[in-house]
Amino acid sequence: IKIAVPKEEAPGERRVALVPEVAGKLVRQGHAVAVESGAGVGAHYLDDAYEKAGAQLVEKRTELLGGAQIVLKVQPPTEDEIDALPEGAVLIGFMYPHRYPERVAKMRDKKLTVFAMELVPRITRAQAMDALSSQATVAGYKAALIAADTIDRFLPMLTTAAGTIRPAQVLVLGAGVAGLQAIATAKRLGAVVSAYDVRRAAGEQVRSLGAKFLELEIDAEAEGGYARELTEEEKAKERAMVEEAIVAADIVITTANIPGRRAPILVTKEMVERMKPGSVIVDLAAESGGNCEVTKPGETVQVGDVRVVGPLNLPSALAVHASEMYAKNLHNFLELILTEEGGLELDWDDEILAGSVLVHDGEIKHAPTRELVE
């Protein structure tokens, strides 16, 4: 099978969908892997490493895509990329259909088969292809480092000849995949960490990392292990409890998300104003609107003496390992559609394929996207 990997075009995107190690595995499995020259440069995977792995380097993107049967991407394809693809090609990557409905329509009209990595069901069998989790792990780690780098104080306790330094108090709101990694990273740096999530089940995971879990008598675990939106009464209770923890913290890292919705506001402007001078908030939900009322996506905002950082695309900042993990997720996904004989077979009885297919055979298969586009 001819597998093609173009260079990512989106501004600020340094990741690449395939790293040389995984390219080599596909080549050894008998596939023809073609990579656009310079595709891995942003993540420090240089052309010669792909060549050594047995991949072919292609200068012209239209030529690369025109001959492809499977195309691997990180970001959704551009209109030009869709134009360059042959009818019936398979495209795999993050697709964000709600942001790019016109591209979905174009992919449908081109009769592409499109799998959206963010739609891979979060079931045990699919864990090795769960790109949301691998990239959230990267983001959570980096968020803790940004907080540590931004704040003008130590995180660990230090006993020195110049006196004893008290450890920093870190509060993590939202203890999903990213939140747990932020907790683990802040702990490793020596901070005293506490965390809160609307899913009670998160409590055990938080405690197992050596952090304190803030208890509230709400359990908002919904379908698929995700959170549901809180009622107005629950929101008020949550805010009251969370406010005291926010005011006591030196660093607040927020990661709360509800699938398909704007991120919930957990930190109001008034709460930021009550925080200690020099405190730092890192809002990982900036991409989906922010958990803090004053967050500006992609910027650092100062409110009084508190800085609120709203980073975008954190996985790209750790492009080496984010790409490696993502490429491994893709390779595991490819195992579902590549046969031992070196062919391509789509088994629609497989719930992972059926769940993650966005477009196939001239139809939009993902119902919420179909409603949006048609």
Position 256 contacts ligand NAD (CB under 6 A): yes
Residues 6+ apart with CB under 8 A from 371: none
Nearest Cα neighbor of 307 from 329, 318, 292 is: 292
133 among known catalytic residues: yes
Active site residue 194: no
**Is 181 one of the catalytic residues?**
no
Give the burial string for 216-251 (b: 16+ CB within 10 Å, else e): bebebeeeeeebbebeeebeeebbeebbebbbebbb
Q: Decide if residue 132 touches ligand NAD (CB under 6 A).
A: yes
The residue within the footprint of ligand NAD, chosen from 259, 342, 343, 368 (CB under 6 A), is 259
Task: Say whether 130 is catalytic.
Answer: yes
> Of 50, 100, 133, 194, which is the active-site residue?
133
- Give the separation between CA 82 and CA 78, rounded to whole angstroms: 6
Cα-based distances in Å from 219 to 24, 203, 368: 46, 11, 26
Beta bridge partners of 292: 267
Nearer to ligand NAD, 44 or 207 (CB): 207
Beta-bridge mates of residue 58: 36
In three-state secondary structure terms, 253 is strand
Q: What is the DSSP letter of 160?
A: E
* Contact region with ligand NAD (CB under 6 A), list: 26-34, 131-139, 156-164, 338-346: 131-139
Of the pair 36, 197, the CB lying nearest ligand NAD is at 197
C-beta closer to ligand NAD: residue 116 or 227:
227
Q: Does 255 bind ligand NAD (CB under 6 A)?
A: yes
In angstroms, what is the minimal distance from the CB of 298 to ligand NAD?
A: 19
- Which C-beta is closer to ligand NAD: that of 35 or that of 95? 95
Catalytic residue among 56, 69, 122, 228: 122
How many chain residues interact with ligand NAD (CB under 6 A)?
31
Nearer to ligand NAD by Cβ, of 124 and 159: the residue is 124
To the nearest whole angstrom, how small is the minimum distance from the Cβ of residue 143 to ligand NAD? Answer: 12
- Cβ(244)–Cβ(274) under 8 Å? no
94 forms part of the interface with ligand NAD (CB under 6 A): no
Of 5, 92, 155, 198, which one interacts with ligand NAD (CB under 6 A)? Answer: 198
H helix or E strand, kind and range, residue 273: helix 269-274
Binding residues for ligand NAD restricted to 53-92, rule: CB under 6 A: none
Residue 325 within binding range of ligand NAD, rule CB under 6 A: no
Residue among 36, 81, 197, 324 that touches ligand NAD (CB under 6 A): 197
Which of the ranges 29-37, 56-64, 105-113, 121-129 carries the binding residues for ligand NAD, by CB under 6 A?
121-129
Catalytic residue among 130, 197, 250, 283: 130
Measure the CA–CA gap between 249 and 190, rounded to whole angstroms.
15
* Site of tokens 């208890």: 215
- Whole-number Cα distances in Å, 348 to 180, 289, 340, 355: 34, 35, 18, 9
The three state secondary structure string of 93-152 is ECCCCCCCHHHHHHHHHCCCEEEEHHHCCCCHHHHHHCHHHHHHHHHHHHHHHHHHHHCC
The residues carrying an active-site annotation are 122, 127, 130, 133, 226
**Residues at the contact surface with ligand NAD, assessed by CB under 6 A:** 122-124, 127, 130, 132-133, 136, 173-179, 196-199, 202, 225-227, 230, 255-259, 264, 266
